[in-house]
Amino acid sequence: MAETPPADLVTVLQALSDPVRLEMVRQLARCEEGHGIRCGEIEIDVTKSTASHHLKTLRNAGITGEREVGTRKLTWLRKKELEERYPGLLEAVLCAADAPAITA
């Protein structure tokens, strides 16, 4: 399993520009690196199959890594690889995602 680098920028931005996936990334960001959380553990308002689809998209963009543990699958953010390839990008997105919505 050669650790492929994150995909091209357009693919990465595309993957991040979905509300569900962005929320997934936010929740993943709150985990230890290399630890990961379970697929079904992510709290989002979509069905199992849809969640699986989104996780696959993130995986294909090289944003997340996965590891199987029995029947379960752990997913984590590939912070280091993203930082190497696109410095500052993930941090800016995560920070931006925490920014309050405009109320005015």
Residue numbers at the binding site for DNA (CB under 7 A): 14, 18-20, 38-41, 45-57, 66, 70-73
Nearer to its own copies, 21 or 36 (CB): 21
- 15, 11, 104, 10: which is closest to 58 by C-alpha? 15
Instruction: Tell me the closest approach of the beta carbon of residue 89 to its own copies, in angstroms.
Output: 4
33 binds, among its own copies, DNA, none (CB under 5 to 8 A by kind): none
Nearer to DNA, 71 or 103 (CB): 71
SS3 string, 45-73, reads CCCHHHHHHHHHHHHHCCCEEEEEECCEE
71 binds, among DNA, its own copies, none (CB under 5 to 8 A by kind): DNA
Cβ-Cβ contacts under 8 Å for 27 (sequence gap 6 or more)? 37, 42, 43
Looking at residue 82, its amino acid is: L
Nearer to its own copies, 40 or 87 (CB): 87
